[in-house]
Amino acid sequence: PFFTTKAPGKGTGLGLASVYGIARARGGSVTIDSAPGEGTRVQVSFPRVEAPPTVAPTPSITPEPREHGALVLLAEDEPSVRATTSRILRLAGFEVLEAENGRVALDLLERSSKPPDVLVSDVIMPEMRGPELALAVRERCPDIGIVLCSGYVGDALEGPEFETLGAELVAKPYRPSELLDAIERVRPPATGAVASA
């Protein structure tokens, strides 16, 4: 599913790997039929499900504030996803440094007067993948919590590079609460709630 018409460093392509991962996670499949000069047909199939007997309430996109001043370094190459994620984090009370790729994230890290408490990064980005960025950030900030987000699921988010990071893995699309809960699990204790006397 890794196909792109873009030059290296100019984007991640059609997003077919994300489509494939999401479809597989939900029991579906993706079929691609392509012929030179004729075009490409992508068919996404999902299993039929019965409607639930009752409608669950729609979760709010506005999270309850949880933090005051904890700093998150956010690396996400898709502008709309980056903007939405930044909004979720800010509404939850976090300060956010936004980067469109790993190189920009490292530059922001070097220029920041305050070390970030948590790195939230997409896994697949141009210039530098999320796990590579996480390793580079961890060298500079050994106690930083790491959350990696991706449209890939299952086996695609397993392996030694993920295990050595001690990162939380969040599958896209995610609810605000799923992202915030993952941040809570990796955040260093020093930036947590004030201990009672």
Give the pLDDT confidence of 149-184 residue by residue, as tens digits.
998 765 555 666 667 788 999 999 999 999 999 999
Please tell me the predicted confidence (pLDDT) of residue 148. Answer: 94
- Report residue 119: phi and psi, to 5°: -105, 125
Give tens-digit pLDDT for 28-42. 888 888 888 888 888
Q: CA 8, CA 6: separation in Å to the nearest integer?
A: 7
Percent of the chain residues topping a pLDDT of 70: 74
Give the pLDDT band (50/70/90) at residue 196: very low
Domains annotated for the chain, with CATH where assigned, are: 16-45 (no CATH), 71-189 (3.40.50.2300)
pLDDT single digits (tens) 23-76: 887 888 888 888 888 888 888 888 887 766 555 555 555 555 555 579 999 999
The Cα–Cα gap between 79 and 39 comes to 28
Percent helix / strand / coil, the chain, rounded to 5: 35, 20, 45
